[in-house]
A and B are shown apart, each in its own frame.
Chain A
Amino acid sequence: MEFSFTPKEQAFRRELHDYLQSEVPEWFAGIFALPEGEHDKVWEFTTQFARKLAKKGLLIRSWPKEYGGQEATHMEQLILAEEMAYFDEPRGSHYLGANWVGPVIMAFGTEEQKRKHLPAIANAEVLWCQGFSEPNAGSDLASLKTQATVDGDEYIINGQKIWTSYADHAGWCLIGVRTDTAAPKHKGITYLLMDMKTPGITVHPIRSIFGLHFCEVFLDNVRVPTQNTLGERNRGWYVMMQSMEYERGGYIKYARCQRTLDEIVKYVKETSVKGKLLIDDPLIRNKLADMAIGIRAVRALTHHMYWMQSQRLTAGYHPSVVKMASSEFDQNFTNIAMQILGLYGRLSKDSKYTRLKGRIVREYIWSREGTVAGGTSEIQRNVIASGLGLPKE
């Protein structure tokens, strides 16, 4: 049993931390819940920064060298993920490719697919999105209806996806489609690699409290080569579930919470109200402790998850445990942070009198997403219950 990182891993963290500290500009606060007017500036930055990181081998650590990785350990990958989260994920949406699109292609792809797509992800040349949900297929994802009919060596796809993150920036899409309407719903799904420049694809960003993060994707007779199948035809559900496992198990929001906590601690140490420093208020101190404790509890679960992956142990329900606990803690955390700011908590970034550059209100809004996206908390609990061996109806 060992709870510290090796000297090499610690040195890697320090070096990475210092690099990000000096390179990530102060105005950058991530791509999530972006005010609409800031989209272009932020995306421009993350695009060029991700390429810069890729050149230094800091975009992706633990992939094989032949696919653009550094063959580093799982622990280095964990450290990378933590530090990136701490600095508000300056890789932009490249984290998606790094954390689960790439790994699922590595696990299920043909050699040709791996050689075509993995280096491009590792070099930050291509952004990916994930076509899962539909207007009538959210939690009941297996009931998805976007249809793919075979025409020679191509599929013709018709349908609609919704809540697709980053579809308006993505070059490629991992999309779940129905290839067998007669089979039971889980057994008629195929997972495809789809070029977003293919004629027939229309993307509309959805305006939401998270800015323009989510999109609708309309597919009108879109032709995708059958050789773009990831895994086997009609066995796509199982590939999608593996992808979900990577996504859920890799949730690293607690590191971002630590960044927020560091800023809040600095704030309460410097801010006085009616002659008293906020740090001396017992109620505030209690809240700070709650925040620190929760971060470490979630970190403990996540570290265990990464360790399991490094040992190639069967993940079981653990990714769902991580995702559920992390996202619910995040909501609790950001709410506590808002309480500390009191009336100032409502002020947005560019408002007069704003505190901490409006970070807290943005984190608070964004935290709503976590218990819904990537499988709702209710779905995660269903997965866990099944893993506990509880009886079915």
Chain B
Amino acid sequence: MDFALTEGQEMLRKSARNFLEKECPKTLVREMERNDKGYSPELWKKIAGLGWMGMALPEKYGGMGGDFLDLVFLLEEMGRALVPGPFISSVVHCGLAILEAGTEEQKLKFLPKLANGEIILALAFTEPSAGYGADDIEITAISDGDDYVINGIKLFVNNAHVADYLLCVTRTGSSASPEDGISLFLVDSTTAGLSTALLETIAEDKQCEVVFKNVRVPKENMLGKLDEGWPLVEKIFAYGAVAECAQMVGGAQKVLEMTIQYASERVQFGRPIGSFQAVQHTLANMVPDIDSSRYMTWEAAWRISQNLPHNMEVSVAKAWTSEAYRRVCSSGHQIHGAIGFSLDHDMQLYFRRAKEAELAFGDAGIHKDIITRYIDQSPLA
């Protein structure tokens, strides 16, 4: 049992925090909310230059040779700074999937370009049924000569509008079990028949509707095996859920610090409001929420990095952290009073993102359902 970070991980955290404080100020965050593209190409290039995109990729694909846990420390800092853009879509949802299941040819084709920021990928998973189960996948991919032809709609696809490729989860077969017959394809976003529309969301985080109308994708762009793609989807789901947790932990920590500062400076009734016990207790409540979320996120990420069974830990971390971050933001808003509602203030930036992160890759309801399947697993074993 060891909660210590390595020296390298500590340095990564510190340098990421310093870099983002300078290069991703809240002015940029606000600007990107209004900007259709949703990310700064200049910042994207700088991040690529630091090697962040390839943090968890092997060196032979242009990566830094780290693992998912290293990436999670980075994601905490990105969540703290509210970095806008397709980093997680590209690096976590798609990059790690290609690393997991790609042929050598696919890895060499996509990963080096992903690592140096040259291409952007986005995961097209959810559909109008708005679930993360195999039985939610209705979009079809039908074999036709050297291609598969995809028809259907994907909804809530992060950054599809700026992606060079979409990693699309499709149904290529059906049987009694919905997990059979799932296949994934890397779809060139310029392919005829593919159209993207931005959805306006609470966090202004560039979610899209993507319509596939007879979209042809070459057979060699299938990622993994025909009809056997569901285990890979489950793996991506785990990566995605923990990545959200990491961002939430980073954001929650910032909300705590921001709220302590406000409570220490705001004077009412002749004294700082942080000297009133009710305010102190509200702030104290945030600490176990944030700390427990952090440690459970780390444990889930560590288990994934070590190739250990992790479904229970991932779902527990996501269910808990989703609600914890919401509680922290709720308390943060309460202490800030009216000023926190102003668009010029940062508090509401975190509040809006907290809801988005809560929903992404399963909210507490979805994960509790998963957890009951593993209810016999004791944490004491």
A306 within 8 A of B: yes
Contact with A along B287-320 (1 / 0, CB 8 A): 1100111011011001100001000010010011
Residues of chain B within 8 A (CB-CB) of A299 are 379
* A325–B372 CB distance below 8 A: no
Residues of chain A within 8 A (CB-CB) of B368 are 285-286, 289-290, 293
| Most interface-central of B6, B260, B271, B280 (chain A CB within 10 A) | B280
Q: How far is the CA of A169 from the CA of B370 in the complex (A)?
A: 47
- On whether A390 and B260 interact (CB within 8 A), knowing A288-B372, A293-B319, A301-B291, the answer reads yes
Q: Which of A1, A289, A303 contacts B375 (CB 8 A)?
A: A289
Residue of A nearest to B73 (CB): A1
Residues of chain B within 8 A (CB-CB) of A285 are 368-369, 372
Residue of B nearest to A390 (CB): B274
CB distance from B274 to the nearest CB of A (A): 4
Residues of chain A within 8 A (CB-CB) of B283 are 384-385, 388, 390
Residue of B nearest to A6 (CB): B1
Q: Which of A75, A286, A304, A388 contacts B291 (CB 8 A)?
A: A304
Residues of chain A within 8 A (CB-CB) of B260 are 388-390
The count of residues in chain B whose C-beta lies closer than 8 Å to any C-beta of chain A is: 50
Residues of chain A within 8 A (CB-CB) of B274 are 390-391
Q: How far is the CA of A81 from the CA of B295 in the complex (A)?
A: 20
* A388–B287 CB distance below 8 A: yes
A258 within 8 A of B: yes
Residue of B nearest to A310 (CB): B1
CB distance from A300 to the nearest CB of B (A): 4
Residue of A nearest to B6 (CB): A1
- On whether A392 and B275 interact (CB within 8 A), knowing A1-B69, A2-B302, A75-B1, the answer reads yes
* B296–A300 CB distance below 8 A: yes
B371 within 8 A of A: yes
Residues of chain B within 8 A (CB-CB) of A390 are 260, 263-264, 274-275, 279-280, 283
Residue of B nearest to A74 (CB): B1
Q: How far is the CA of A286 from the CA of B371 in the complex (A)?
A: 9
Residues of chain B within 8 A (CB-CB) of A4 are 1, 308
Contact with B along A189-224 (1 / 0, CB 8 A): 000000000000000000000000000000000000
**15 cross-chain CB contacts under 8 A:** A1-B3, A2-B302, A3-B298, A75-B1, A86-B380, A286-B368, A286-B372, A289-B367, A293-B371, A295-B379, A300-B295, A310-B1, A378-B281, A388-B256, A391-B274
- Footprint of B on A, CB under 8 Å? 1-5, 13, 75, 78, 82-83, 86, 255, 258, 262, 265, 285-286, 288-290, 292-293, 295-301, 303-304, 306-308, 310-311, 317, 321, 324-325, 378, 380-382, 384-385, 388-393
For the complex of A and B, the 8 pairs showing the least CB-CB separation, nearest first, are A289-B368, A385-B280, A384-B284, A300-B295, A325-B288, A381-B284, A2-B2, A297-B292
